[in-house]
Structures are given as structure tokens and as C-alpha cells.
Structure 1
Amino acid sequence: MWISDVWAAVVVLAGTTSAAAADNGPIAGNPLIEIPAGPFVFGRDDGPENERPRRLLQGRAFAINRTEITNGQYARFVEAAGHRPAFYANHPIFGLDDRPVVGVSWGDADAFCRHYGLALPSEQQYERAARGTRGHAFPWGNASGARVPANSGADICCSGDSRDGYPMTAPADSFADGASKEGVLNLLGNVWEWTSDLYAPYGSAATNSVGPYRVLRGGSWNSDPGHLRTTYRLAYDPEFRFAANGGFRCVRSAP
């Protein structure tokens, strides 16, 4: 199933929350939101095989960017580090300063985070930030309906639509009513986000990963409801940098 989902992800033109503590962090305009240590639900037993089993894990504290990394933030990194620009840097919509950067490989995203003394989130960190401690289906809880507070796509994979106000990417600070309990934005929708993990069935060592794929989480602006959930895992070629629906954010783990 996941191999076909890789193609689905390639698009080339491809309520009230209780905010947690935050600090400004090293990325101007994108504070780090503190996620406290403690038990949380990871995985599920009623979904695809690669999302099983459901477990209760003890998580360490970490902090995660409030929003996806934007084009403006990525451009400052490119200038400071001499790194290559994002593939869609000059696109009239995908390249807007306040939109999440897209057209970046896993290596590009990893280099950005490392430049600021941060890292890409692990799958466990991403899922804890998105689901809270109780394993909610969505960052805003378990309720789903006709209106989803996220930038998503058509009901049938995989086309964007403008029902949510944005036919493609939305500003990174959009959809405040879809924030997580801690106040992290767009953990579902807008753009898929790179994680640090190699793709492998849960419980397998990285050396037993299914090919050299990395995992993306969170769905995007062209995701149908089946892809727009907190447990969905997308295996993806880490070298590919031409997707217009894939970005990232960074984390800082507790020492």
C-alpha cells in the first residue's frame, strides 16, 4: 500500500487550545513549543499494518517548532550557510515567504535543523506532538466532520481544492483552531513533514528498514481524509526534492 502512496504524495506543478510554554529558539519567528515528558499513546491497532501495534510509551521532554519552516526562514539559512535553495523558491505561491518551504530533500531539511543546533523530529516525537497524551485521532481531538480545521485536499486522493480557503499551501500560522493542545500549528495538513526515521515496521531495527526510505508525517494540502490522520506513515525517497507538498519543522530534545 505504501508504495502507491509514495506516488500519491508526489505533486509537482507535484477550538480553543491551551498553549504550552515556549521560547523564541534559534529560528526567528518560529518559537519552540515545550512538550513535557510523560506517557503517551503511539500507533494504533485498527489501522494499516504499518501503524500497529498501539503502545503506551514513556516520552522524554522535547520542544518543537510552532509552525512548519517557512520559505522566508529557509532563505535566511540558504544565505547564511551557502546551501542550495528550495526547488520552489521562486514559485508565485509555493515560494511565498509565509508559506511552508517545499521542494526540499531529507538532507536539505536535516542540514537546516543542524545549522540551528536542532534536529528533525522522530516519528515518536511527531506523533506525541500531534496526538497529545491520549492518542487523539487529530491534533484538535477526536472529532471529525464536514469542516476540518486544516489545509487538506479533495475527498478522493490526491488533488488540492479551495474549500478550506487555499487551493495549495496556506500560511504556516493558519488554522489556529486546528492547533494541538500545546499550541503547535498544522501538524496535520498543509505539507507532509520529514522525520528523522528510516521507514521500518514498528519494532524493527533501522538495519531492517524496507529500503532506504525516510518517513513523512502529517498529510498535506492535497491529502484526502484517509491520509489526514496523526498515525499515517508515508515512506519516501530521501533524495527526492521536487514534491510541492513536502516540508518540515525541527525539534530540540531535552539533554
Structure 2
Amino acid sequence: MPDAQTTASATASTVLADLDAVRARTLDLVSHLSTEDLERQIDPILSPLVWDLGHIAAYEDLWLVHRHGGLPLRREDLAALYDAFETPRAVRGELELLDRAQAEAELVAVRERVREVVARRGVGDGTVFEMVLRHELQHTETMLQAMRHADLLPPTLPGPPQLGEGSFISVPAGEHLLGARAEGFAYDNERPAHRVEVPAFRIATRPVTNASWLTFTEGGGYERREWWSDEGWAWKQDDDSTCHPAIRDGHPDAPVCHVSWFEADAFARAHGARLPTEAEWERAATWHQQTVGASAGNVWEWTSTTFSGYPGFVAHPYREYSEVFFDRGYRVLRGGSWATHPRVATTTFRNWDLPQRRQIFAGVRLAHDEEAH
């Protein structure tokens, strides 16, 4: 699917075609599920899948019909029900949500309103439409997380490729323009682009594999206190955490997946390495195509960076997208996963999650200080 241009060249037909293609993909990803599986809450930290469908419809109505089109909300009673901050994930399974048929009907009804708005006033520069489109793509990845947790992934969906072990390359010290440029679509936390000095470092050409992780596990990785931070050890002890089942079940040469930041940090310490900063990750991703950029997009990759705003950050178009998560212990992930649509997984996109979370499709890429070698 070609990337929409968030400029005056965005056309109504192109934008609507892209929205329809994304919607078809969303519905195809859940088409194999029973209504019971679609409507139940699989885990307290994951929404019922049917909530995501209702949320996608409500978000589209809010931004494309109400705010862009100037029309009243189609159903005001759904605004709070599908507001991610009004209804946190832990309670969504207890709410009286739209059922499958109702949620699917709402998606259709809202899209018809969008078509009417576009016919009447066009798409402007396309920015708000691109935001809504990528919002849906991001939600389909969280839906795939829930499906993976319950062993309900679509049977035809390919997983990560088998890459095998890589090596380390050196990236010289230098100035890097971190973040998204002014042109094109980007989220507020990717801007403003700003220059940072990045010391020389070494970084792995590929993410850590399942085979390497199992060696770490069998070598006492979850028992060796000296490899864990204080917070990481407390998390491991409280949750009695050990290797995620997906690692043992996965192909040895596939990138390790479903590891928390605490586990990633411990693995790096055990190997005399560390996690890259997000500036290092982005510099390496754009430095040479045979480094990070070539193998990115298989699993999200934890960085050592705490999620915060860039210097000069301005919330847009609403502070709840990024700003409310700043400086609250969330860690930045980069690169995208096999479940991430390429339209979302740009080299400047910043994902984030709490360090104890491992429901996401997250893995590890190691780094070293250059002077350590």
C-alpha cells in the first residue's frame, strides 16, 4: 500500500481507497474468530477485541466526521465508552460494549458518514485522515497481541523470519538529526527533529535469537542476581517470571519475542553489553542498510531510553497521545515487528511500554561502547 502524502496533493479517492484497504485488513484479521472469542476479555492488560472495533469506529467519527467535517457525533453515548482514558483496559471486559454485529455495523455507518464529509469538503491536506488510518493499524497490532496471548492468531499470518545470529559493526561518532523532519506525517513525540552528538558505538546487525535466549536461560539467566537491576529482580521475584513459552516454542533462528525490558536489560548485562539508546538505534538504522535498518521490523527492540518529549515538544493534536506518558517509567522501543504495518514502522516512530510488559512483540538488539572493544 503506498504511503499517503500529507500535503495538498492528497486526493479524496486515494485517501478513501487507503482507508478502505486498511478496514478490509482489520476485518480479515478477526474473520476466523468466534463471536465468543471476539467479545471476551482475554487478559486484564488487553482489551476485548470487540472493544477495539468499537474504539476504531468512535475515533474515526470523532476526528473525520465531527472535527474535520463539523457534524455532531453519530452516537454521543459511545464517546466515553470508547475513550481509552475514560475506560482503562482492566475494566473494559465489565462494560456493556457493542457486540460483534453492532460494532461491525458501527464501522460501516461511520465510514458512510466519512464518505459524505469527503464529498462535501474534501480531505484538506490529508493529515487527519492519515492519523486515523495509522491509528487503526496500531490497534490491529494490539489486537494481534491479544490473539497471540490466547493462541488465536490468524492461521495464514506469517511470523518473524528466521534470521540467525549476526555480528557487531562499529558506528563512528558523529552528529545525528534525531526525529521526524517537518515534511510528511509524524506523531508529535517524533518532533521536533533536533541534532544530537552520538559517541562511537558498536551495535548488533541482527536481534538476539531464540537459541541465544535459551542458552541464557539454561545458563542461569533467571537465577543470577548479578545480571539484574534492582527493579528487574523485584519484578522477576514478584511474578516468578521465567522464559516466555513463545521462546521455547519458536524456531531457534527466529528473533526472540515477548521479552520485557527488565529481561532485555539482564540479557545484555549477562553478555557484557547494553541496550542501545534510541539515538544510537536511529543513527544505526540510517547509517548503513546492512545494519539495523536491514533487520528492523521483525520484533520491536527495547532501547535504554526513557520515553519523554524531545526538546521543544508541542502536543498535537491532543496531549493524551504522548505527553501523558512522558517521564513515567515507560521505555522506548524502535523498529516495528512482524505484526506492525510498514506504514507505521518508520525509522523515527517511537513505541513505548512499561518495563515489565511482555505482551508486545518485543525483542533485543545489543550494543557496546566503542572503547570497550
Q: What SS does structure 2 have at the residue aligned with 1:33? A: strand
Which residue does 1:209 correspond to in 2?
326
Query: Could you tell me which amino acid in structure 1 is paired with residue 177 of structure 2?
Result: V
Which residue does 1:123 correspond to in 2?
278
Q: Distance in 2 between matches of 1:220 and 1:34?
A: 24
Name the CA shift for 1:228/1:113 in 2 (closer, same or farther; >3 Å): same
Which residue does 2:145 correspond to in 1?
11
Higher share of residues assigned helix: 2
Query: Could you tell me which amino acid in structure 2 is paired with residue 193 of structure 1?
Result: E
Greater length-normalized contact order (CA 8 Å, ≥ 6 residues apart): 1
Return the TM-score normalized by structure 2: 0.46
Identity of aligned residues (%): 34
**Does the alignment pair 1:42 with 2:42?**
no
Q: What SS does structure 2 have at the residue aligned with 1:75? A: helix
Which residue does 1:165 correspond to in 2?
none
Deviations 1:37-57 (A, max 9, x none): 122221123322101111232
Deviations 1:207-251 (A, max 9, x none): x934221111001111123321100001112111233x2111110
Which residue does 1:63 correspond to in 2?
202
Q: Distance in 1 between matches of 2:169 and 2:198?
A: 15
Q: Distance in 2 between matches of 1:185 and 1:226?
A: 15
Alignment of 1:57-206 (within 5 A): 57-83=196-222, 84-91=242-249, 95-132=250-287, 180-181=288-289, 183-184=291-292, 186-203=294-311
Q: Distance in 1 between matches of 2:220 and 2:351?
A: 29
Query: Could you tell me which amino acid in structure 1 is paired with residue 358 of structure 2?
Result: R
Which residue does 1:251 correspond to in 2?
367
Q: Distance in 2 between matches of 1:73 and 1:128?
A: 25
Q: What SS does structure 2 have at the residue aligned with 1:81? A: coil
Answer yes or no: is the 8 Å Cα contact 2:306–2:330 preserved in 1: yes
Return the TM-score normalized by structure 1: 0.66
Quote the RMSD (CA, aligned, Å). 2.7
What runs of 5+ residues in structure 2 fail to find an aligned partner? 1-58, 60-83, 86-134, 150-163, 223-241, 313-324
Q: Which has the larger radius of gyration?
A: 2
Q: Distance in 2 between matches of 1:44 and 1:198?
A: 18
Q: What SS does structure 2 have at the residue aligned with 1:203? A: coil
Query: How many Å apart are 1:127 and its aligned residue?
Result: 0.4
Query: Could you tell me which amino acid in structure 1 is paired with residue 362 of structure 2?
Result: G
Q: Distance in 2 between matches of 1:219 and 1:229?
A: 8
What runs of 5+ residues in structure 1 fail to find an aligned partner? 15-27, 133-179
**2:168 equivalent among 32, 49, 63:** 32
**2:353 equivalent among 229, 236, 254:** 236
Matched residues, number: 188
Answer yes or no: is the 8 Å Cα contact 1:33–1:184 preserved in 2: no
Q: What SS does structure 2 have at the residue aligned with 1:114? A: helix
